[in-house]
Structure 1
């Protein structure tokens, strides 16, 4: 069954010709650099026989500090974060690759559209990879960059063949093909408003049991693709949804604001501004570390300009501005605030950050989007979604003492049913009797890091834990919350016994480098310890830090000389919680510096970042991609392990922290 969409057809007959430079991102950094300088003696076809670099994150495509720019200057910064880089600023743009090639999971990490624009402004028109992360691929499509995982087409181009555009879009949905043919999302919407082309049909299935993700999507279908009577949405089909909550932070708001004004005119306003939120959370403590870096004053001015432009846009257009706090830092990290105060079961929540999926903890369909998507949604509240497959994670039993949701997520990242590209674009649905033993903060941790598994998002079925959370903030509860139908299908089910999970750690370079902590045999001396970010700055995280530090205080143990330890709260309400319970005093007494809310060190923009490549940090944040938190090596761990490591002076578990201290 099909429903017509108010969109236009494509420019038929467009072809992709074999011209321009090709940059093949191999595992060998010397080979990459040689291509850029013209010193490589092998052809692109020959380079394809080499191992291709996989898991290239957006932090590698463009480092976080480069996102202080949002114009064509971004092209000069393309791939400055690439691990083991052997080329300098502007090298990729000077080479001007029309085609760029890499391995699995291209674009993992943030939803920052700056990465895609860095490639676009450097000359890239076509990206080949073995697989793509969802947000990166959608951002490419929105700005007119083709993506393709069919290397036979690359072989044909390298052999001199001219190919029809349809060869690159045959696996896309009808709406996606139309967006590609029309040069991006804004071109598609201009044609929709003008009514200058054909209509694109969206497919539906007949009535059937639906899981919670499908039910939320059906409940939020936009008028242009309304659900026909007796129908259900089809997995793999694309639909425009009406978003309930839209938010952006200062990294992205200025870029999106420029797009908004350019595309919709100076008189355009936000559709339903009360459902829009603007956060200054990522860079609120950046000046404390940028001053010691090259071009420090210029970077600080850039950061301040982003904040000014965001605040001005919010003041002009309405919406909720969640800005700096009087006590320093931010009022809240966006994800913490949305879970604490805004998101409700059954809502569609979109934000300009890949960890928007945190709000899945309350039963919302929450996911990250890029600048183009958020600008478009400001105008009409719409967001394009391809109905995802759902992987049900059946949690059973209870966690052991000293083990928490962070360990569960790290264990999942290493699970053979999750690792690699098995979850790309899918949704993790946490369910089962073990799910009901997890409080809201622990649920938020699991949902927060779903994107590290390549998933679109994650969520929990609403239950009594959800109702209690909503009641605490004055929200409603009841049977109207969406839940999966009995007999609803899913792509796969993964059973996980919580009592088998042990303390975990992700080795430097990638969150997916997760191993049991007990398997790390070498003595890992640490320079910095950081407990914070949206993943590790919640109220229950404070309970876990405090539980370890209280044991340390009882035994007269403090953070040793030579180790810097930081605890950063995720919101003002978490700071109040910590103060009321005496945690702030406890943390400071054992030698830990307490920081106000901010993304801070997690985004290389606050106290706790590394400053030298040989520095080692153990962190409760969610990512440890190269350069993510400075040039040093970052291990990811739970709040328990972070606190134990702080007082032991080396990577250690709660059980081993005192013996480790004595033997160090």
Structure 2
């Protein structure tokens, strides 16, 4: 039996900075010494965005340099490697947020070989598996580690599926993929004919059965938790990960000349186009490093003849954010869409199974066409009643995030089907806000069954006549592993206080005045047509009242795609923005990844933003409140956090 030999250097990530500093100064702790382990440690804290120009062993100096504890960043450059920690221990939902594989890669190169936590986010754990970093929820292992006893791998892997065990005892996912498909001209897709189970099924289950890579000896019917592969209709990658993927592939396949079905692969350059306007990138001399990432991305796209949506040639920005363009141009109901970004879930609003994966998984999919996954449970969020006219889908998303089932992690790694009369009444743009933020709810992905609004959206955006098929819905009597019913009539304008999107609070429950320095509206979540309708509703009202943006506020709006910018022009919005001296930024992830206008530059700065995440360091060193588009603009006018309804009350004639 294989064994894992570890030193007894264990780092307990706690809420108490004094005990964390003590450990970093060489004091050995045990679980008994720890009062409170940190929950919800995000990948933004494990591997902050600005270090993503590294994608190899250079990452060893960066793990947890963004970890914020009681306002401090205790773990400094090179600290984990210097102290030779081999085990990290944390609380619930370790690895929340971005799908970036840089996080486990940084930990691995720093010498960490095992992460023990109460629970893990789905993508982080899969990324760790794929590179050979062990994870466990068994805290009893700490006794053996303390005594310098070797650990049987079976003790670490006892609750994992067969495929995961194969990956962790092979040379990672790429090694296994090469071994499985070596010498096979077709490489994959030996799919036997499989009949659907003769039982009521959820909509998501129907897509899974149509895309799961069944082998002659595959278990049937599909069982939750089973490891396997799923065929992707679309695979996409963006420049933050292309260099890493290219390095991996060329190491594993030195003579690689073609990718599997390249016409169904898309490359996006969308993250760092405003780096020349990022104070952090300028002050830390990072412009050239990110230029190198961009160059690797372009080289990869050209070498393998991949369709590419890149930077604009004559102005800042790009053609569009990947999620915006996938929804506008590519994804269709019933398909499977995978991308190297956690918010790939965005396109689920069109009725496709869209989910994010790590770089290794996508690299393997580029040459095989299939994606590693564990079959998820399917849960249901049903929204009943009617939203008030001033309440948006962003308010609904923030309200769902504060639900106990969500905060406790009940939906982690599960497919979330959104349904109910409120969902049916929403536009596709509004639905994408929910499916986008299904990731913040812990979901594997979010999905909405397609309907006539889906058909109309596809026709309007692509001039394509899509025909719904009878199977594209949940069956009556379909069983869900869990459910959540939301009464829409109880929801008001919502906020999320800094630190985590689940810190939901109704605006009317805000107990103190919060002055702001920056207001930012944009990103994939809030750079859509419907979002700009909401931004401009407030601005047009302000113009009529002869109001303007508060003199102390830096305010930016950013479109998710050039299509949205064209829409704004046609609606007369650009003229209004110009009249009010508001800068409209071209498509780019920008401030949502701390790279461009809208990011904070000082610890004391407070931002209100319509993006999807407010983890520490996500948008600069300051603090970020999340809100709906209307609340962002109303707050920019007032100079403090306020709702549009409250602002209107202040100026009643």
Asked if the contact 1:221–1:227 (Cα under 8 Å) also holds between the matched residues in 2, the reply is: no
Q: Which of 519, 528, 532 pairs up with 1:529?
A: 519
Query: Partner of 2:135 in structure 1?
Result: 147
| Inter-partner Cα distance in structure 1 for 2:650 and 2:293 | 45
Query: CA distance change for structure 1 residues 206 and 105 in 2, over 3 Å: closer, same or farther?
Result: same
Query: CA distance change for structure 1 residues 319 and 481 in 2, over 3 Å: closer, same or farther?
Result: farther
The farther-off stretch of 528-537 and 202-211 is 202-211
The Cα offsets for residues 584-613 of structure 1, whole Å up to 9 and x where unpaired, read as 221232342111111000100010110111
Question: Any idea what SS the aligned residue of 2:228 has?
Answer: strand
What TM-score results when the alignment is normalised by the length of structure 2?
0.94
* Residues 516-595 of structure 1: pairs in structure 2 closer than 5 A: 516-595=506-585
Question: Any idea what SS the aligned residue of 2:86 has?
Answer: strand
* Residues 320-335 of structure 1: pairs in structure 2 closer than 5 A: 320-326=307-313, 327-335=315-323
| Inter-partner Cα distance in structure 2 for 1:462 and 1:206 | 22
Shift of 1:223: 5.2
Query: Partner of 1:36 in structure 2?
Result: 24
Asked if the contact 1:218–1:232 (Cα under 8 Å) also holds between the matched residues in 2, the reply is: no
Structure 2 residue 121 is the aligned partner of structure 1 residue 133: yes
The Cα offsets for residues 343-398 of structure 1, whole Å up to 9 and x where unpaired, read as 01111111111000001000111111011001000001111221211111112222
Q: Which of 50, 58, 63 pairs up with 2:48?
A: 63
Q: Which of 446, 453, 458 pairs up with 1:458?
A: 446
| Inter-partner Cα distance in structure 2 for 1:280 and 1:33 | 39
The farther-off stretch of 589-598 and 59-68 is 589-598
| Inter-partner Cα distance in structure 1 for 2:419 and 2:138 | 35
Query: Partner of 1:467 in structure 2?
Result: 455
Shift of 1:118: 0.6
Query: Partner of 1:493 in structure 2?
Result: 483
Asked if the contact 1:105–1:133 (Cα under 8 Å) also holds between the matched residues in 2, the reply is: yes
What TM-score results when the alignment is normalised by the length of structure 1?
0.93
Query: Partner of 2:341 in structure 1?
Result: 353
The Cα offsets for residues 208-260 of structure 1, whole Å up to 9 and x where unpaired, read as 322111111110122546878xx532222122111111111110111011111
CA RMSD of aligned residues (A): 2.1
Q: Which of 265, 284, 295 pairs up with 1:295?
A: 284
Question: Any idea what SS the aligned residue of 1:655 has?
Answer: helix
| Inter-partner Cα distance in structure 2 for 1:494 and 1:292 | 43
| Inter-partner Cα distance in structure 2 for 1:50 and 1:156 | 21
| Inter-partner Cα distance in structure 1 for 2:613 and 2:577 | 24
Structure 2 residue 301 is the aligned partner of structure 1 residue 314: yes
Unaligned ranges ≥5, structure 1:
1-12, 197-201
The Cα offsets for residues 414-433 of structure 1, whole Å up to 9 and x where unpaired, read as 01222221111111100122
Query: CA distance change for structure 1 residues 661 and 309 in 2, over 3 Å: closer, same or farther?
Result: farther
The Cα offsets for residues 304-340 of structure 1, whole Å up to 9 and x where unpaired, read as 1111110110001012110012332010000000000
Query: Partner of 1:7 in structure 2?
Result: none
| Inter-partner Cα distance in structure 1 for 2:572 and 2:255 | 51
Q: Which of 56, 60, 78 pairs up with 1:75?
A: 60
The farther-off stretch of 262-271 and 104-113 is 262-271
Shift of 1:183: 3.8
* Count of residue correspondences: 638
| Inter-partner Cα distance in structure 2 for 1:121 and 1:530 | 36
The Cα offsets for residues 23-57 of structure 1, whole Å up to 9 and x where unpaired, read as 1111122322332231x2x433443x321111110
Shift of 1:111: 0.2
The Cα offsets for residues 510-558 of structure 1, whole Å up to 9 and x where unpaired, read as 1010110111121111111000000110000000001011100000000
| Inter-partner Cα distance in structure 2 for 1:363 and 1:265 | 38
| Inter-partner Cα distance in structure 1 for 2:183 and 2:250 | 22
Shift of 1:661: 8.2
The farther-off stretch of 210-219 and 328-337 is 210-219
Question: Any idea what SS the aligned residue of 1:523 has?
Answer: coil
| Inter-partner Cα distance in structure 1 for 2:234 and 2:182 | 28
Structure 2 residue 237 is the aligned partner of structure 1 residue 248: yes
Asked if the contact 1:111–1:136 (Cα under 8 Å) also holds between the matched residues in 2, the reply is: yes
Query: CA distance change for structure 1 residues 46 and 188 in 2, over 3 Å: closer, same or farther?
Result: same
Shift of 1:91: 1.1
Shift of 1:205: 10
* Residues 171-320 of structure 1: pairs in structure 2 closer than 5 A: 171-193=159-181, 207-222=198-213, 224=215, 231-290=220-279, 293-296=282-285, 299-320=286-307
Asked if the contact 1:218–1:227 (Cα under 8 Å) also holds between the matched residues in 2, the reply is: no
Query: CA distance change for structure 1 residues 660 and 99 in 2, over 3 Å: closer, same or farther?
Result: farther
Asked if the contact 2:275–2:281 (Cα under 8 Å) also holds between the matched residues in 1, the reply is: no
Q: Which of 155, 173, 177 pairs up with 1:167?
A: 155
* Residues 611-626 of structure 1: pairs in structure 2 closer than 5 A: 611-626=601-616
Asked if the contact 1:471–1:477 (Cα under 8 Å) also holds between the matched residues in 2, the reply is: no
Question: Any idea what SS the aligned residue of 1:417 has?
Answer: helix
| Inter-partner Cα distance in structure 1 for 2:268 and 2:4 | 41
* Residues 384-399 of structure 1: pairs in structure 2 closer than 5 A: 384-399=372-387
Asked if the contact 1:58–1:109 (Cα under 8 Å) also holds between the matched residues in 2, the reply is: yes
Structure 2 residue 402 is the aligned partner of structure 1 residue 414: yes
| Inter-partner Cα distance in structure 2 for 1:389 and 1:497 | 24
Question: Any idea what SS the aligned residue of 1:239 has?
Answer: strand
| Inter-partner Cα distance in structure 2 for 1:541 and 1:364 | 22
| Inter-partner Cα distance in structure 2 for 1:291 and 1:168 | 40
| Inter-partner Cα distance in structure 2 for 1:586 and 1:23 | 54
Query: CA distance change for structure 1 residues 513 and 324 in 2, over 3 Å: closer, same or farther?
Result: same
The Cα offsets for residues 69-99 of structure 1, whole Å up to 9 and x where unpaired, read as 1121111111111112124211111112111
Shift of 1:289: 1.1
| Inter-partner Cα distance in structure 2 for 1:333 and 1:52 | 36
| Inter-partner Cα distance in structure 1 for 2:388 and 2:308 | 41
* Residues 625-664 of structure 1: pairs in structure 2 closer than 5 A: 625-658=615-648
The Cα offsets for residues 483-523 of structure 1, whole Å up to 9 and x where unpaired, read as 22232210122211222211100001110101101111211
